[in-house]
């Protein structure tokens, strides 16, 4: 997989992979004068999780709403299982499971009634009890939705999204507001659906969630995809960091090839894309001068670092 900077398409797929079930090409979406999505492209294949990351207002939800068939594109094309999710809604919907970023359910229905209602509208629903058990709501089945906690409502919403065993699942911030245990339950459900062959498109503000679940990630800023690839590939767009403190009276730090000095004596920070050679050279220099590099830390680049760099407006480099 290649990394694209900035990326018109979110990463080509390995040769021989299954045909894509979600195809987004040069998608644009306007809200009045504001162009929320400015020509993004990506594909998702069966058994794959694709994550869209970005700060609030980056255009993630606006893009997903077109994939979900809830809003028309202003430009470009979206195909879900080969069909337009807006104009060929009836063909797409039986195969599409959607969890909206925020949504409501009738507050005075019980949990079981809510799942049963949803099941009655689906082409191939799983049993209601199975749906309830899957998200740990069996013992809450008789309660009205209004009395559930925020996390329980989110789990209820998720089981509705997955109740029809959809081939394409769109999850807009699925674990927002969930406690760590519930979040892991959601991750397990997503993995199970993916193992069964579903394609998943998700947005999240939890970077560890993207690292945990996603096969490929695209980072959006101001309506565009500016980075895409695997978590490791995206992290690798940022330099590794070496930090240490030089003792008083230490000789001047030599120029280390491949390292950029961000802050100098006595608390030194170096950035490098060649961590091992830089670290080797640095340790050799310290050894030659019989120096102890206080609090020495060497940290590889992270997805978070890349995300923050994009959020800060830095060009990926």
Partner 1 sequence: MTALTAPAPAPSGLRRVRALAAAETRLLLRNRTAVVNSVLLPLFLVAVVPAAGLGGDGPLGPRLAVTAVAVTLVFLTYYNLVTTYVARREELVLQRMRSGELTPAEVLLGTAAPTLLVTLVQVALVLAGTAVIGEWSTPTDVVLPVLALLGGAALMTLLAAASTSFTRTAESAQITTLPLVTLASVTSGVLVPLTAFPEQVAQVLRLTPVEPVVELARLGLAGQTWDGRTVDWAGAWAAAPQPLLVLAGWIALATLVAPRVFRWAPRR
List residues near partner 1 by CB under 8 A.
18-21, 23, 31, 46, 68, 70, 79, 81-83, 89-95, 98, 100, 102-109, 113, 117-118, 120-124, 157, 160, 164
Q: How far is the CB of 295 from partner 1 (least distance, A)?
A: 48
Rg (CA), the chain: 24
Q: How far is the CB of 142 from partner 1 (least distance, A)?
A: 14
Pick the closer one to partner 1 by CB: 28 or 95.
95
Pick the closer one to partner 1 by CB: 31 or 184.
31
Q: How far is the CB of 103 from partner 1 (least distance, A)?
A: 4
Q: How far is the CB of 173 from partner 1 (least distance, A)?
A: 14
Pick the closer one to partner 1 by CB: 92 or 227.
92
Q: How far is the CB of 68 from partner 1 (least distance, A)?
A: 6
Which are the contacts of 255, defined by CB distance < 8 A and separation ≥ 6?
Answer: none
CA atoms within 13 A on the CB side of 2: 8
Question: Which regions of the chain does DSSP assign to beta strands (E)?
Answer: 22-31, 34-44, 49-53, 75-80, 96-99, 168-172, 199-203, 216-221, 224-229, 240-245, 259-263, 267-272, 294-299
Lookup: tokens for 140:
């809450």
Verify cis geometry, omega within 30 degrees of 0, for the bond prior to 266.
yes
Q: Is 173 left (phi over 0), alpha (psi -120 to 50) or beta?
A: left
Pick the closer one to partner 1 by CB: 72 or 266.
72
Q: What is the rounded distance in angstroms from the CA atom of residue 100 to the CA atom of residue 304?
A: 24
Pick the closer one to partner 1 by CB: 107 or 292.
107
Q: How far is the CB of 117 from partner 1 (least distance, A)?
A: 4
Pick the closer one to partner 1 by CB: 126 or 243.
126
Q: How far is the CB of 86 from partner 1 (least distance, A)?
A: 11
Q: How far is the CB of 228 from partner 1 (least distance, A)?
A: 21
Pick the closer one to partner 1 by CB: 92 or 268.
92
Which are the contacts of 103, defined by CB distance < 8 A and separation ≥ 6?
Answer: 157
DSSP state of 308: H
Q: What is the rounded distance in angstroms from the CA atom of residue 239 to the CA atom of residue 91?
A: 46
Q: How far is the CB of 300 from partner 1 (least distance, A)?
A: 37
Phi (first) and psi of residue 115, to 5 degrees: -65, -40
Pick the closer one to partner 1 by CB: 117 or 283.
117
DSSP state of 23: E
Of the candidates 200, 232, 163, 270, the one whose C-alpha atom is nearest the C-alpha of residue 46 is 200
Of the candidates 215, 221, 268, 212, the one whose C-alpha atom is nearest the C-alpha of residue 243 is 268
Angle formed at CA 124 by CA 119 and CA 127, multiple of 5 degrees? 55
Pick the closer one to partner 1 by CB: 88 or 269.
88
């Amino acid at each position: 997989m290649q990394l694209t900077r900035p990326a018109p398409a979110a990463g080509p797929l390995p040769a021989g992979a299954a045909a894509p079930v979600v195809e987004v090409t040069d998608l644009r979406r306007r809200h009045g004068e504001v162009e929320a999505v400015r020509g993004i492209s990506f594909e998702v294949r069966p058994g794959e999780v694709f994550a869209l990351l970005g700060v609030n207002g980056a255009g993630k939800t606006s893009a997903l709403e077109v994939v979900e068939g809830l809003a028309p594109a202003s430009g470009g094309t979206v195909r879900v299982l080969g069909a337009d999710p807006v104009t060929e809604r009836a063909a797409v919907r039986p195969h599409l499971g959607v969890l909206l970023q925020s949504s409501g359910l009738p507050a005075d229905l019980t949990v079981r009634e809510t799942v049963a209602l949803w099941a009655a509208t689906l082409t191939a629903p799983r049993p209601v009890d199975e749906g309830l058990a899957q998200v740990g709501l069996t013992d809450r089945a008789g309660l009205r939705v209004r009395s559930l906690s925020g996390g329980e409502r989110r789990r209820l919403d998720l089981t509705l999204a997955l109740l029809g065993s959809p081939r394409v699942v769109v999850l807009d911030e699925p674990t927002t507001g969930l406690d760590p245990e519930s979040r892991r339950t959601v991750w397990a459900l997503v993995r199970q659906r993916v193992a069964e062959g579903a394609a998943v498109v998700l947005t999240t503000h939890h970077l560890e969630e993207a690292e945990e679940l996603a096969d490929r990630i695209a980072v959006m800023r101001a309506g565009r995809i500016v980075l895409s690839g695997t978590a490791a590939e995206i992290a690798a767009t940022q330099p590794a960091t070496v930090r240490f403190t030089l003792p008083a009276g230490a000789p001047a730090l030599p120029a280390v090839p491949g390292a950029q000095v961000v802050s100098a004596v006595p608390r030194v920070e170096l950035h490098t894309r060649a961590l091992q050679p830089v670290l080797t050279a640095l340790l050799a220099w310290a050894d030659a001068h019989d120096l102890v590099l206080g609090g020495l830390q060497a940290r590889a680049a992270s997805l978070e670092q890349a995300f923050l760099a994009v959020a800060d407006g830095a060009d990926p480099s």
